[in-house]
Structure 1
Amino acid sequence: MRTIFAAMVDRSRIAALLSQEEDRFVSSHPRSAELAEAARGPLLAGVPMPWMTRWPGRFPVFFDSASGARLTDVDGVEYVDLCLGDTGAMTGHALPQVTAALTERATRGITTMLPSADAVWVGEELARRFGLPSWQLAMSATDANRFVLRFARHLTGRPRIAVMDWCYHGTVDETLAVLDGDRVVPRPGALGPQVPVSETTAVVPFNDLDALDRRLAEGDVACLLMEPALTNIGIVLPEPGYLEGVREITRRHGVLLVNDETHTLCTGPGGATVAWDLEPDFLVVGKPIGGGIPCAAYGMSAEVADRLSGPMLGHEIDVAGVGGTLTGNALALAAIRATLSTCLREEDFAVAVPLAERFAAGVSGVIADAGLPWHVQRLGCRAEYWFCPPPRDGAAAAAAVDEELESLLHLWCLNRGVLLTPFHNMALFSPAHTEADVDRHTEVFAEAVAALG
């Protein structure tokens, strides 16, 4: 849906600028163009993963190296990286301490199906950071969410799970659902649902306690899986009292509450759960905790852990739908220990959060000077601009997307050495970034706005 400002902008002007930027992109990336052409045969869609086609430009940029807050592509072009692997590199790229830990661990073996000594440290640190006493490891937040949903159905004997409208929790079948009026339907773009999502999933709007109460009162929902603030449809913040209301309603209806903190970890060392004093039954955290190595973890309350202790020790737990022989491998545990012992601490957020504040202030200033009805949202060390007033739920956020305008702004930034998260107008900051990095984006953003005017 086009926003108020987008409707005011001459669409032919956007198209003309986009064409110019595409030409500039092609001329600046000859080696990436060669690799993209070579990849068309052996790689479906010409990339290792299809979402890599979502980057701006006529073909993907192939990267050569990344360190700290900088990324260099195969054509030697350097970028200020405000994407950071869509949170996977929230700590910054190529952490020396993680590299050293991985090298040391790899020389002594990686995959044995046995716990390493690092497992104890990791479990204790996760409990200290997030306040939930018992933990398990996974290879990705998708896996962790999938396992937690299975546990929730087992513990409650209820068949359905509930999610927020336009949420995203990885490639979990049950979560790829949205509302179409009152009907639960597959999220646009979801391929090959194994069963109709209306059979597995209840969907409710974010920031709507009445809708949540009505749906959970039906008594068939095992758990509510949610981000404390929506991030994967853009940043949608909870209204005052909303999260407290969610906890009261879920408890009253006997529904387990699962906080997915994979992206909202940007609020602080213990995520929104600690920053906002939340009390989930389960907590999932993914990619940031391993410094770039595939890993995730999920924690649970003492009550839930006690109820699960029997099944977890059962003779057939290896075929329970929870696990994987590479899960909890020694390399991942070494990476988590190296990352959490030196990164994502209070002192790191004390650097990164002010940078996000500076980003928000800079973009807001450009917007105000141009007289635009745009808005900037910030969540910890993450910030994003919208072409509309701030949405209060996922459906409003989805409706606010303007693909032409976003494509232009993303490509404009990329062509001037600034990488934004490809799915959103979003920037993420690490301690490796500087005020000069922030100001460079503000300058580039201001140039784009001026060109549009």
Structure 2
Amino acid sequence: MIDRDRLARLHQRELATFAERNPKSASAYENATHLFGKVPMTWMNKKAGGFPLYLATARGNRVTDLDGHEYLDFALGDTGAMAGHSPAAVVDAIGRRVYEQGGLTTMLPTEDAEWVGAELTRRFGVDRWSFALTATDANRWAIRLVRALTDRPKILFHSYCYHGSVDESLIVVGPDGEGMSRPGNVGAPVDVTETSRVAEFNDLDGLERQLKHGDVAAVLIEPALTNIGIVLPDPGYHDGVRELTRRYGALLIIDETHTFSVGPGGATQAWGLDPDVVVIGKAIGGGIPSGAYGLSTELADRALGRTDLDLVDMGGVGGTLAGSPLSVAAMRATLEQVLTDAAFEQMIAAATLYTEGIQRIFDERDLPWSINQLGARAEYRFVKPYPRNGTESNAAADGDLEDFLHLYLANRGILLTPFHNMALMSPETSAEDVQAHLDVFEQATAELLGP
């Protein structure tokens, strides 16, 4: 349905507008000569406008750039700021730690850590928690533990999953149905098929074929794929995964870092899942680097009972800054006062309003696109029906169309996650904010499709 010539013309117009609107951001980018890729992290070069917007201020669900433009932020740090930017309770907790108590990092525990562990148990069910600074590290440490406890070498993933930059997870299903390195994988220490196995999401037969090899320590999954669109599980899929892992002696690790959007206890609580290990990060720190992994009591006792595992010094599980007084203070404030049960009700209601509005635009324009909602987040793909696995969803990507929409929205004060078409709601996101987003999106589709 898309006239590619029209799309190209509109995109060039939006590029010119972006450059005209943002001279200070353009200058900052041009003058960044001491940064690898000109940005603090190379993924910041995922930019539809040719250069990134530079941050001036951020509060709640609003961001202001160097040129003074205010944006409704539906990216929210790709979940890292799901609590909103600088929520008051987190800022107060950080302030007390910094100005009154001191000791941002000391290698000594604080009582906040036990409170956070107890709250994570209440929400996610597993009983014993350890902290990290990112979900990537939490995943890495969980992987090391399950390998040690099962004496098996491989971890099984879903194709096009997202578990941060964990080396083992960068595996996809190849044309022959077996695993291969994900395209673009940088500097893999070994061929990823030596460390990992892979199956498509929603494919229990494929999962069983891989588990039958008998070398899988754990299946590490997101309850729904989230970084390749939002791919939802078929009815009964998770019951099947749990049954198969038990049948073939593999543990089950659930990574809730993005699926925390489903509710206060993520999909684990909302969908009644039964993992052996839970990993979470990003949002629980309210913007302060934070991550955690939780083990069942049985697994924790097995690990601590092993005299051959160095869990105290250089055994490969832990980090000097992890579990710091600052980090756990931020986690406690976020969980206790910001991302509460009531907050999730409001966030999910806003996401439902957004999803229904986007679907209405698709229906009225007869667009062959689709949208899925995962609690407080929603994402559309340029295909209908919505894909059922990661490989199908990857094939539905349209970089030119995505860049145009992102740029069109940004030029009119709406920010989406740079990597995909995901919109996330914070406790500060109002119905009026959602409607403003819908109005601009409807305007974009109208211009794109013409009269």
State whether structure 2 residue 93 is matched by structure 1 residue 101: yes
Q: 1:344 to 1:313 in 2, by over 3 A?
A: farther
Give the corresponding residue for 1:446.
Answer: 442
Q: Pick from 228, 248, 252 the counterpart of residue 253 of structure 1.
A: 248
Indicate conservation of the 8 Å contact 1:230/1:237, yes or no: yes
Q: State the alpha-carbon separation in 1 of the partners of residues 360 and 391 from structure 2.
A: 27
Q: Pick from 13, 20, 38 the counterpart of residue 13 of structure 2.
A: 20
State whether structure 2 residue 38 is matched by structure 1 residue 46: yes
Q: Which amino acid aligns with 1:408?
A: F
Q: State the alpha-carbon separation in 1 of the partners of residues 120 and 204 from structure 2.
A: 30
Give the corresponding residue for 1:4.
Answer: none
State whether structure 2 residue 257 is matched by structure 1 residue 265: no
Q: State the alpha-carbon separation in 2 of the partners of residues 101 and 342 from structure 1.
A: 11
State whether structure 2 residue 326 is matched by structure 1 residue 331: yes
Q: Secondary structure at the match of 1:318?
A: coil
Q: Pick from 164, 173, 193 the counterpart of residue 188 of structure 2.
A: 193
Structure 2 counterparts to residues 405-420 of structure 1, below 5 A? 405-420=401-416
Q: State the alpha-carbon separation in 2 of the partners of residues 156 and 314 from structure 1.
A: 13
Indicate conservation of the 8 Å contact 1:268/1:344, yes or no: no
| Deviation sequence 1:363-398 (CA, Å, 0-9, x none) | 111111111111111000101111112000000000
Give the corresponding residue for 1:116.
Answer: 110
Indicate conservation of the 8 Å contact 2:311/2:317, yes or no: no
Q: Which amino acid aligns with 2:344?
A: F
Q: Secondary structure at the match of 2:129?
A: strand
The more displaced of 170-179 and 102-111 is 102-111
Q: Alpha carbon RMSD of aligned pairs, Å?
A: 1.2
Structure 2 counterparts to residues 247-326 of structure 1, below 5 A? 247-311=242-306, 317-326=312-321
Give the corresponding residue for 2:65.
Answer: 73
Indicate conservation of the 8 Å contact 1:360/1:383, yes or no: yes
Q: Which amino acid aligns with 2:61?
A: A
The structural deviation recorded for 1:310 is 2.0
Q: 1:344 to 1:258 in 2, by over 3 A?
A: same
Indicate conservation of the 8 Å contact 1:160/1:199, yes or no: yes
5+ long unaligned stretches in structure 2: none
Q: Secondary structure at the match of 1:239?
A: coil
State whether structure 2 residue 173 is matched by structure 1 residue 179: yes
With the length of structure 1 as denominator, give the TM-score of the two structures. 0.97
Give the corresponding residue for 1:37.
Answer: 30
Indicate conservation of the 8 Å contact 1:110/1:329, yes or no: yes
The structural deviation recorded for 1:316 is 6.1
Q: Secondary structure at the match of 1:58?
A: coil
Indicate conservation of the 8 Å contact 1:64/1:72, yes or no: yes
Q: State the alpha-carbon separation in 1 of the partners of residues 382 and 426 from structure 2.
A: 25
The more displaced of 117-126 and 408-417 is 117-126
Give the corresponding residue for 2:363.
Answer: 368
| Deviation sequence 1:48-99 (CA, Å, 0-9, x none) | 0011011321111001111001000010000000000000010111111111
With the length of structure 2 as denominator, give the TM-score of the two structures. 0.97
Q: State the alpha-carbon separation in 2 of the partners of residues 148 and 272 from structure 1.
A: 19
Give the corresponding residue for 2:396.
Answer: 400
The more displaced of 368-377 and 258-267 is 368-377
Q: State the alpha-carbon separation in 2 of the partners of residues 183 and 350 from structure 1.
A: 41
Structure 2 counterparts to residues 199-214 of structure 1, below 5 A? 199-214=194-209
The structural deviation recorded for 1:278 is 0.3
Q: State the alpha-carbon separation in 2 of the partners of residues 252 and 334 from structure 1.
A: 41
| Deviation sequence 1:92-144 (CA, Å, 0-9, x none) | 11111111111211232122111012111111111111111110001100000
Structure 2 counterparts to residues 148-187 of structure 1, below 5 A? 148-180=142-174, 181-187=176-182
Q: Which amino acid aligns with 1:156?
A: T
Q: Pick from 430, 436, 444 the counterpart of residue 432 of structure 2.
A: 436
